């Protein structure tokens, strides 16, 4: 079924809680419904949303917003029919990604437990290549099924064709963005334990949660235990969208040449003492990734408010709708001031992770 409404209030459909409206809003229930939508006739621009958890609406939306309610989870192969013994699961784009993680944990299937509690829906997960705790969704995706709104036909992409990189995919490429609507995704999960606990202090946290009855050996771990631990950690660090609006990490972590990193570290040592170390990750080709959160904190933004917006006190990479009444301009104003501070102090241009609409 297709439901069309006009001047639809999107406040509850974006996790930032921006009080905006869409001129036209279309919600559909099934893959087949897409054939009945006249894409050429829709008020432009056209935007397909999921849970609105990576979006910042800066104004009312003048065109058409689409939303999928395709919500099945179906096991296609228990592992008998593929050489790797993987459990192949087809999941509708409108399924809340964390509901899929909860389902997998309940079934004792491995693969998505580290991605627990990431807001948003399955369709967007394949667009964004969501990631957390050392796992990216591309690691468990086999195929992405789409509707091509230009050729008006159903197509699918093998995972190798999706151009996956850090929080990126071909679906975000400006030349084709919006052309393909993800209808469902084929995931390859595993009945065999394959815990991924190398990220940060995850292993200690999981071992502690498992104690005293068992250790962190593969036999005693379950996807449900890892999921529970990750949900606990995430709740301590990140704002719950139902309590305080945000879109998670607002900026990407910048990548700079080694010479620039050396200058930044020298300045930090001059300020904080010779033993001070700037957090960083070495990349190929003499490039260095520096956490944007560190830069924002060094500029004194952590916990600071600006009108209804604020930098989250526990994680400076997150801008929040502090009062619940923030205007888009307040969020954008704070974003600009943070970018200016970081540019002035470090000579680094921060790039937003959140999509501005």
Ligand X SMILES: Cc1cc2nc3c(=O)[nH]c(=O)nc-3n(C[C@H](O)[C@H](O)[C@H](O)COP(=O)(O)OP(=O)(O)OC[C@H]3O[C@@H](n4cnc5c(N)ncnc54)[C@H](O)[C@@H]3O)c2cc1C
Interaction between residue 338 and ligand X (CB under 6 A): no
Q: Which is nearer to ligand X, 177 or 272 (CB)?
A: 177
Interaction between residue 88 and ligand X (CB under 6 A): no
The interface region with ligand X, picked from 30-38, 77-85, 204-212, 245-253 by CB under 6 A, is 245-253
- Cα 286 from chain centroid (whole Å): 28
The interface region with ligand X, picked from 18-26, 27-35, 118-126, 297-305 by CB under 6 A, is 118-126
DSSP 8-state symbol, 287? E
DSSP, collapsed to helix, strand or coil, labels residue 230 as helix
End-to-end CA distance of the chain: 27
The interface region with ligand X, picked from 20-28, 51-59, 225-233, 326-334 by CB under 6 A, is 51-59
Total residues contacting ligand X by CB under 6 A comes to 35
17: left (phi over 0), alpha (psi -120 to 50) or beta: left
- Cα 36 from chain centroid (whole Å): 30
Q: Report the C-alpha gap between 156 and 47 in whole angstroms.
A: 20
Q: Which of 162, 182, 221, 331 binds ligand X (CB under 6 A)?
A: 182
Enumerate the β-bridge partners of residue 82. Answer: none
125 is catalytic: no
Which x/- pattern, by CB under 6 A, does the window 219-238 give for ligand X? -------------------x
Any idea of the CA torsion for 149, 11, 54, 357, to the nearest 10 degrees? 60
Q: Report the C-alpha gap between 145 and 221 in whole angstroms.
A: 33
Which residues ranging from 125 to 144 are in contact with ligand X (CB under 6 A)? 125, 127-128, 130-132
**Shortest CB 7 distance to ligand X, Å:** 19
CA distances from 311 to 193, 227, 321, 333, 339 (A): 39, 27, 9, 12, 13
The interface region with ligand X, picked from 24-32, 115-123, 223-231, 329-337 by CB under 6 A, is 115-123
335 is catalytic: no
DSSP 8-state symbol, 92? E
Which residues ranging from 52 to 71 are in contact with ligand X (CB under 6 A)? 52-55, 68
- Residues forming the site for ligand X (CB under 6 A): 15, 47-55, 68, 93, 118-121, 123-125, 127-128, 130-132, 167, 171, 181-182, 238-239, 241, 246-248, 355
> What residues act catalytically?
167, 249, 353
């Amino acid at each position: 079924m297709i439901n069309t409404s006009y001047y639809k209030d999107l406040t509850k459909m974006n996790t930032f809680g921006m009080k905006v409206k869409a001129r036209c809003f279309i919600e559909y229930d099934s893959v087949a419904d897409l054939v009945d939508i006249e894409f050429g006739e829709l008020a432009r621009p056209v935007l397909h949303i999921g849970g609105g958890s990576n979006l910042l609406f800066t104004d009312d939306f003048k065109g058409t917003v689409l939303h999928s309610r395709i919500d099945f989870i179906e096991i296609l192969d228990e592992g008998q029919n593929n050489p790797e013994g993987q459990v192949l699961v087809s999941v509708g784009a409108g399924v809340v990604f964390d509901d899929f993680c909860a389902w997998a944990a309940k079934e004792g299937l491995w693969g998505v437990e580290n991605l627990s509690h990431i807001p948003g829906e399955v369709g967007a997960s394949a667009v964004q290549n969501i990631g957390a705790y050392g796992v990216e969704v591309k690691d468990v995706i086999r195929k992405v099924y789409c509707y091509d709104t230009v050729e008006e036909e159903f197509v699918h992409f093998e995972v190798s064709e999706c151009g996956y990189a850090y929080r990126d995919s071909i679906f975000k490429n400006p030349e084709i963005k919006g052309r393909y609507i993800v209808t469902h995704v084929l995931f390859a999960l595993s009945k065999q334990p394959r815990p991924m606990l190398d990220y940060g202090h995850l292993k200690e946290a999981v071992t502690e949660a498992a104690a005293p009855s068992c250790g962190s050996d593969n036999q005693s771990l379950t996807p449900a235990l890892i999921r529970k631990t990750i949900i606990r950690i995430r709740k301590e660090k990140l704002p719950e969208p139902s309590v305080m609006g945000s879109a998670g990490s607002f900026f990407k972590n910048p990548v700079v040449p080694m010479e620039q990193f050396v200058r930044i570290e020298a300045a930090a040592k001059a300020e904080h003492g010779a033993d001070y170390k700037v957090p960083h990750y070495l990349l190929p080709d003499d490039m260095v990734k520096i956490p944007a959160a560190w830069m924002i904190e060094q500029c004194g933004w952590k916990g600071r408010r600006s009108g209804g917006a604020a930098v989250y006190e526990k994680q400076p990479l997150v801008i929040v709708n502090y009062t619940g009444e923030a205007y888009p301009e307040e969020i954008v104003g704070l974003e600009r001031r943070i970018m200016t501070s970081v540019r002035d102090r470090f000579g680094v241009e921060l790039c937003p992770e959140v999509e501005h609409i």
